[in-house]
């Protein structure tokens, strides 16, 4: 059987914009940067303690974080579907988005 030796067509390649430092600066001072990442993405059996305990611990860290507001805004706007971001679980963020979408627009 012959092998296809053609090169892929690179003319249709999608080029994504580079992230700007200003858009991500808030992450450099986040309290979670010094913590185990798994704490903010609790899965039963993957980290010591129950999921509820992990969530409460992560939220406690978030509550004293200097970048709580931009972190929360990012997670809500980006539709982050996993983890604790800005002191909110994925379910809490989804509820927040639904409530926000149901509010009447200002006229």
Residue 21 — very low, low, confident or very high, per pLDDT cuts 50/70/90? low
To the question of whether residue 65 is assigned a binding role by annotation, the answer is yes
Domain membership of residue 24 (yes or no) is: no
Q: Is 12 inside any structural domain?
A: no
- Structural domain including 80 reads 31-102
Please give the residue that has the higher pLDDT: either 69 or 42: 69
CA quadruple 73, 78, 79, 80: dihedral sign: negative
Question: Residue 40 domain-assigned?
Answer: yes
CB 11 within 8 A of CB 17: no
Q: What is the pLDDT, as a whole number, of residue 15?
A: 63
Domain count, the chain: 1
Residue-level pLDDT at 13: 67
| Residue 84 domain flag | yes
Find out whether 32 is annotated in a ligand binding site.
yes
Is 72 part of any domain? yes
Q: Is 87 annotated as a binding residue?
A: no
pLDDT digit string, tens, across residues 44-67: 665 556 899 999 999 999 999 999
């Amino acid at each position: 059987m012959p092998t296809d030796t053609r090169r892929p067509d690179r003319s249709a390649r999608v080029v994504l914009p580079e992230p700007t430092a200003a858009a991500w600066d808030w992450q450099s001072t986040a309290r979670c940067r010094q913590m185990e990442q798994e704490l903010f993405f609790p899965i039963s059996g993957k980290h010591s303690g129950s999921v509820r305990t992990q969530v409460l611990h992560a939220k406690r860290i978030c509550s004293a974080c200097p970048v709580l507001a931009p972190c929360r805004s990012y997670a809500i706007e980006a539709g982050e579907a996993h983890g604790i971001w800005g002191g909110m679980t994925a379910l809490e963020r989804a509820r927040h988005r639904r409530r926000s979408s149901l509010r009447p627009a200002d006229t």
